[in-house]
Structure 1
């Protein structure tokens, strides 16, 4: 069994981790016992709006191996009240908060306001820089605008659930950022993701679930959790030509570095 797994991006605050009608374990069972027994040593739980950021902080205060990020996802950019940024900043002062995220741009689903998303993303990039925190960036169908802002603000951090080209991955790395890959790298049609992962140097590579989404094969379409990361690790280890435990150790150290956590391997 693999050890030292760091799930660098999870959403255990999701309602899908409540008591399940299908008999799946809830978040307390997973975080309290199942995941540590499955070799999961650390988890980064990531907010997507103010309520989920509050819940992420609550989970990090409850479970010592969980850290958290706070921020506003682009899909929430047009529904914000006055003072939203100050509320996120107040949460970011807590010691368990290690990043500003999940922030970014998403032009996939209509309707959306490009202007609102750009304003909210920029404000949080500025906040992260001012607080000295890394960012966790979401980018979907918005490569050009995302890269323009990353070039402008030069944040530390991660482009998570990476879906871009190998060329874009190289530019992300050249900006000093890390790249996170999900169970998508196990899918049969994952040629683009595999090429991007091949282009990322090992020292800039992260593994993540984005759970409850993105479950790897052979569990595709099911609710995902961090215990499924060995499938993602195996796929990336094959790409990099290293052993699976070595890849787990490597990505653990990378995540600790970007999030400013002790490298205790």
Structure 2
């Protein structure tokens, strides 16, 4: 399966790609047989955001976000909002900024700084709303606090790598947000994610890898990359009762709409490749 895929959440700055990063991206994004139409880099800190900005300069069909991940709360400097503003300016200069993210709450590991995470999340959501940008939300073991903040600010955006209940998925959609599913949707016996996917309207679904993590079967346990989204799309198509081609087309359109990508300009670029 080739073409049409938008990987709406990837981390090619991860050390897992140190040996072949740009060879892989060249193969995925350029050339006559490139399998991926578009990618969006999910930034996790300042260094990660700058990687996204520089890589977006390198590839026409690669976009970026800017933001601070909750797991990095203890290392984030006090002037993080000044840094975010500067990253925003730099990304806007190249017209490749799709979102503020990856931001959110993560209470999974012991010793997390709840107060700092909540402050960072609120500050960055407020910034996104002010700049009319969507947010990419990370939420792990923090659903109640996360939903409270989203209900308070009501940003546009996506709940990425969704692992919550169908009921929570419906709440997120009622806020006008999207739901992103990774290769975990295709894990054997992952009935919870499939029920959640079933509850989400087609026009609110996104495909993502969260690579190098969450590789779907038959690649589970391997380093994930964007080409593996085809396997996730097969499961999503089965859940939604439509063709794989329809899932890829709709999720591509959804991501372009959410991240403000002009499809007419993109079509001109892609037809010239």
Aligned to 1:4: 4
Cα distance in structure 2, aligned partners of 1:88 and 1:54: 11
Query: What's 1:165 paired with?
Result: 165
Unaligned runs of 5+ in 1: 20-25
Aligned to 1:41: 37
Find the residue that maps to 1:52 and give its secondary structure. Answer: helix
- What are the residue-to-residue correspondences of 1:11-90 with 2, within 5 Å? 11-19=11-19, 26-36=20-30, 37-90=33-86
Provide the C-alpha distance between the structure 2 equivalents of 1:57 and 1:231, rounded to a whole number of angstroms. Answer: 29
Deviates more, 1:89-98 or 1:67-76: 89-98
Please name the residue that 2:200 is paired with.
Answer: 200
Cα deviation per residue 1:78-99 (whole Å; 9 max; x = unaligned)? 2221321111121112221110
Question: Displacement of 1:189 after TM fit?
Answer: 2.9
User: 1:67-114 CA distances to partner (integer Å, 9 max, x unpaired)?
Assistant: 001100001112221321111121112221110000000000111011
Which consecutive segments of 4 or more residues in structure 1 shift more than 4 A?
A: none
Q: Does 1:253 align with 2:262?
A: no
Aligned residues of 2:194 and 2:239 also touching (Cα < 8 A): yes
Q: Following the alignment from structure 1 to structure 2, what is the Cα–Cα distance between the partners of residues 163 and 42?
A: 24
Is the CA contact 2:122–2:149 (under 8 Å) kept in the aligned structure 1?
A: yes
1:9/1:209 contact within 8 Å kept: yes
Q: Could you list the runs of 5+ residues in structure 2 that have no partner in the other structure? A: 268-273
What is the CA distance between 1:38 and its match in structure 2? 4.3
Distance 1:87 1:80 in 2: 10
Q: How many equivalent residue pairs?
A: 259
8 Å Cα contact 1:108/1:140 also seen in 2: yes
TM-score normalised according to structure 1 size: 0.95
For residues 85 and 193 of structure 1, the distance between their equivalents in structure 2, rounded to whole angstroms, comes to 34
